[in-house]
Amino acid sequence: MSYVKDEVRKEKKEKLLILLPKMRFHISNTCKKIGIHRNTFSNWMKSDKEFKGRYEEIKQSKIDDSEERLYLLSQGIPKIDESGKLIGWEVKPHFGALVTQLKAQAKERGYGDYSIIKDDDENDTRNLTDSELIAEMENIRNRFT
């Protein structure tokens, strides 16, 4: 590889990393804007650890920003009188933002999209055969009839 090609590649990588947040992380459009193919970006991600690391830092920064905005939406903006008493809302808390925040940050308290039910080994039915499962279901049905 020639020195000129290396310098051009380095400049394009830098330009991509600068433009990506401005282009709302749309990789294909950003690649087009700087004159490279989308596959070139993928190849850089695979072959250049420094580039990939910088990309991940920028991406994490965007996620941090989004989390901050989500938090602010979930809290709302209170309207407070001169005495410090809450008298209403400039912006009401956004219920959807609050739920999304809890799903992301409070899974262990049951706010995730699914729950994990821990069974003790005595009642663990994952390794039973079909006939054993049918017998177990019959036992359960008999208890309720």
Determine the Cα–Cα distance for residues 145 and 135; give it in Å rounded to an integer: 15
The confidence score (pLDDT) of residue 2 equals 63
The pLDDT score that the predictor gives to residue 123 is 64
Long-range contacts of 17-26 (CB under 8 A, 24+ apart): 17/51, 17/54, 17/55, 17/58, 20/55, 20/58, 21/58, 21/61, 21/62, 25/59, 25/62
**Window from 61-65, 98-102, 111-115 with minimum mean pLDDT:** 111-115
Indicate if the pLDDT at residue 79 is higher than 80: yes
pLDDT value, residue 25: 92
Task: List, for residues 42-78, the tens digit of each pLDDT value.
Answer: 999 999 999 999 999 999 999 999 999 898 889 888 9
Phi and psi dihedrals of 78, rounded to 5?
-75, 150
Residue 140: what pLDDT?
Answer: 84
DSSP the chain: --HHHHHHHHHHHHHHHHHHHHTTT-HHHHHHHHT--HHHHHHHHHH-HHHHHHHHHHHHHHHHHHHHHHHHHHH-EEEE-TTS-EEEEEE---HHHHHHHHHHH-GGGTTSSS-PPPPPGGG--TT--HHHHHHHHHHHHHHH-
Instruction: Quickly count: other Cβ atoms within 10 Å of residue 100's Cβ.
Output: 15
Mean pLDDT over all residues of the chain?
88
pLDDT interval class at 26 (50, 70, 90): very high
Q: What is the tens place of the pLDDT at every residue in 1-16?
A: 566 699 999 999 999 9
Domains of the chain, residue spans: 1-62, 76-113
Position 59 scores a pLDDT of 94
Q: What integer is the mean pLDDT of 82-87?
A: 91
pLDDT tier at 116, thresholds 50, 70, 90: low
